[in-house]
Amino acid sequence: MIPYGRHDIIADDIAAVVEVLQSDFLTQGPKVPEFEKAICDYTGAAFSIVVNSATSALHIACLALGVGPGDLVWTSPITFVASANCALYCGAEIDFVDVDSETGNMCPVALANKLHNAERLPKVIIPVHLAGHSCDMQAIGDLAKQYAVSVLEDASHAIGGSYQDQKIGACQHSDICVFSFHPVKIITSAEGGVVTTQQSDLAERMAQLRSHGIVRDPSVMLRADEGDWYYEQHELGFNYRMTDLHAALGLSQLNRLDQFVAERNRLAIIYDKQLKGLSLTPVDPLTKSFSARHLYMIRLHQSDQRRRIFDCMRAKGIQVHVHYFPVHLQPYYLDLGFKKGDFVNAEAFYQNILTLPLYPSLSDNSQQQVIDELYSCLV
């Protein structure tokens, strides 16, 4: 089976983890801050906080932005459920902004219309960089400023990409950005995530929330003279910490991030060239961006073919996939009052999309097999 995605682990990655296993620290040690500094250096963010998953990152980011009961958060319906669930974890309500029909990313025109007509404005907007392709962040950011709304980028797919010649994660048009280090993402820490921001107050709050709401800084303590052993819990936080084991793997992987992204883009160009003339259209990134190419997605011109082609490719050992079923049509969200027809572009986009295998170790022969089998299945 040729999978749709696959992590890439080499001897250097294994050695980095073994070094931690043989050290004095397995959980919170020197590798965590080293990984955070490396992410800042790479993205241009002033602060980064690594956590145990991108879902945890989204949760503490929402809390740091003040999301709570009575608030409203808007995100894209074409995403993994965590992009919406994070608002509900905070006791807030969730709503969605329809997507651009071609990219599957949050549509700035739909966002502008929804903001203009809103009886209640959102506290936070969460645009999602589907497939590693950046949303139109300047348009989204400008609208957010106009309406005094915070922006949280869900860039789980997008580390290594850029927008307007700045690395995604620099928060040029947002308050906080989130990346995922799940094994099928661009780089992996086995499991993990990170938040980046340019704002020190947000970074401090997220660092505190990551570890049970505990502080160790004497300048903010109620009882600063207790002794070096002392710590205080200032709010109800979580055990969302990343271990040194995971940080060591992520740090090692970060050394090859640009190599991974370059290879993903090379393979995407091959797909683009060889799939021309078929009854499909690639889901392409914005012209003013450079995609991390987490996924290679196509839109089939005839949606009634999708299931047949999916089954045909799977039967031939090609693990095609579909990203994603619209969140608002998940049973849990139907129970919240959403229904079919609420976000017509997202629903139509879902009907036509298919994800082809794309990962750095995909060989030219395997990619050609994917292409040949797709041709045969489309007949």
Instruction: Look at residue 214 and tell me if it is in a domain.
Output: yes
pLDDT at 225: 86
CA distances in angstroms from 271 to 289, 296, 372, 375, listed in the order given = 19, 9, 11, 12
Residue-wise pLDDT tens digits, 77-86: 999 999 999 9
Structural domain boundaries enclosing 329: 257-378
CB 350 within 8 A of CB 376: no
Instruction: Look at residue 139 and tell me if it is in a domain.
Output: yes
Are 25 and 161 contained in the same domain? yes
pLDDT at 379: 83
Helix (H, G, I), strand (E, B) or coil at 106: strand
**End-of-domain residue from the set 254, 273, 305:** 254
Total domains, the chain: 2
Are 236 and 304 contained in the same domain? no
Are 75 and 24 contained in the same domain? yes
**End-of-domain residue from the set 254, 289, 320:** 254
- In the block, tokens 């987490």 appear at 294
Instruction: Look at residue 3 and tell me if it is in a domain.
Output: no
Please give the full DSSP string across 77-101, using - where no structure is assigned. SSS-THHHHHHHHTT-EEEE-PBPT
The verdict on whether omega for the bond into residue 324 sits within 30 degrees of 0, i.e. cis, is yes
CA distances in angstroms from 245 to 11, 17, 21, 24, 123, listed in the order given = 15, 6, 7, 12, 36
Are 40 and 60 contained in the same domain? yes
pLDDT at 288: 87
Residue type for position 230 = Y
- In the block, tokens 């997220």 appear at 206
Give 73's Cβ-side CA count (13 Å radius).
32
Are 154 and 60 contained in the same domain? yes
User: CA 297 to CA 113: how far, in whole Å?
Assistant: 28
CATH of the domain at 281: 3.90.1150.10
Query: Within 10 A of 270 (CB to CB), how many other CB atoms are there?
Result: 15
pLDDT at 30: 97
Are 300 and 233 contained in the same domain? no
φ, ψ at 175 (rounded to 5°): -90, -40
pLDDT at 286: 94
- In the block, tokens 């500094």 appear at 37
Residue 109, token pair as written in the block: 């025109």
Are 203 and 286 contained in the same domain? no
Please give the full DSSP string across 324-370, using - where no structure is assigned. ---GGGSHHHHTTT--TTSSHHHHHHHHHEEEE---TT--HHHHHHH
Are 270 and 188 contained in the same domain? no
Instruction: Look at residue 186 and tell me if it is in a domain.
Output: yes
User: CA 126 to CA 140: how far, in whole Å?
Assistant: 10
User: End-to-end CA distance of the chain, in Å?
Assistant: 22
**End-of-domain residue from the set 206, 237, 254:** 254
Low-confidence ranges of the chain (pLDDT < 50): none
Are 242 and 275 contained in the same domain? no
Are 280 and 172 contained in the same domain? no
CB 379 within 8 A of CB 316: no
